[in-house]
Each structure stands twice: as structure tokens, then as C-alpha cells.
Amino acid sequence: MKPDYEIERVLNHARIAGMDEVGRGPWAGPVTAAAVILDPEAIPEGLNDSKQLSEKRRVALAEIIHATAEVGIGSASVEEIDAMNIVQATFLAMRRAVNALGTIPDYALVDGNRVPSGLPCEAQAVVKGDGRSVSIAAASIVAKVHRDAHMTELARDFPAYGWETNRGYGTQKHQVSLLSHGPCLHHRRSFKPIHNILYPAKS
């Protein structure tokens, strides 16, 4: 079963933004969110949860989405994640994404079970929304492609951690590199694995 436009059709608002995030689990890098308002007359074919698509297909679809839809992207930095926790940083990235659309949508569909506070429009949470709504699926693709590209850029300056492939997640290579080289400025110090390396006596 693939996502469709049924939730949007029932809501019957003129401009509905799908919203999703990527990067809550990694040990390094920002958390990134996207808001996408699809044109109902030009919905790209093959939209799906970004995790169900190959990297090549995600990149191709992201280009089509940017060309045919309204797109806003927002991120919260490592410093913000450490200061306010990953959940609140994710909500901050979502608020930034919807505000980056330029024109506020009439309504938003947010992947997950919670709606961030402070959104500039009415919204509802949709559990497993990236597999149900094409608008949310589009947002998941845009956010994933954007963050992956950012982590690849960071990997050029910090090649030891393998971010071009693990995207900051705690793979074995990432763990071994952390023990050998220690954390860098892009690591989330509030996350337990990083905290334990920095403060072994307290772990």
C-alpha cells in the first residue's frame, strides 16, 4: 500500500502542507524537516516513504518535487539539539520549515503523533503519515535528500567518521572512529554515546 491524496482531499483546504523530519537518531549533524505543498494537478509519480526508496530514486523525486511544488526546509543545529533536547529541536526545525514556505499554508499534516507548538496554521498529526499521505511522503523525501547532502559535505572536512554513508548514525565504523579520534564539533554531546566518551568517569 502506497500513500495517496485521500487525507488531503477529505480536508478540502486549498493549500495543505505535508511535514516530516529526518535525523532524530544520529549521533552527529542537524535534525532537518521539510514542508511540501503539492499541486493536486501535478503530483509526482512514485511518491513514498523515503525509507522505501533507493537513494537514486529519492534524489530524482526531490528534484521533481522542488520543480512542481512549494517547498520549505528547516533545520535545528547540534547546539540547539543539545540545548533543548531532540524532540524540541525537531519541532523547531518543523516550524522553520513551514515558515520557509514563504506563504503560510491553510493546513498542515505532520508525520507522527504530535503537532509542534507554534505552527502558523492549523495542523493534525498523522501516525505513519509518510506511508499514507503523498504530501508527507514528499516532505520525507525532500528532508532526507537535503540532510544526506549536508552530511556528505561535512564528511569532506571530517572524513574519519564515514558520514557520507552512515549520515551520522551510530554504525560500527562511526563508533570505532569516535573511540580513536574523539567527538568533533558536529557531534551531539547530549546523546549518551558521545557523553560517555567525553565524560567516562561519570558514565
Q: Are 21 and 31 in contact (CB under 8 A)?
A: yes
In a domain, 169, yes or no: no
In a domain, 176, yes or no: no
In a domain, 161, yes or no: no
In a domain, 152, yes or no: no
pLDDT single digits (tens) 80-99: 999 999 999 999 999 999 99
Sign of the dihedral defined by the CA atoms of residues 129, 135, 141, 147, in that order: negative
Q: How confident is the model at residue 175 (pLDDT cuts 50, 70, 90)?
A: very high
- Return the CATH number at 86: 3.30.420.10
Count how many domains the chain has. 1
In a domain, 63, yes or no: yes
Q: Are 186 and 152 in contact (CB under 8 A)?
A: no
pLDDT single digits (tens) 122-161: 999 999 999 999 999 999 999 999 999 999 999 999 999 9
Q: Report the candidate in 85, 91, 76, 84 with the shortest Cα–Cα distance to residue 125.
A: 91
Q: What are the backbone angles phi and psi of residue 159, rounded to the nearest 5°? A: -70, -15
| Region 184-197 average pLDDT | 92
In a domain, 136, yes or no: yes
In a domain, 165, yes or no: no
In a domain, 154, yes or no: no
Task: State the residue range of the domain holding 92.
Answer: 6-147
Q: Are 99 and 74 in contact (CB under 8 A)?
A: yes
Q: pTM for the full model?
A: 0.94
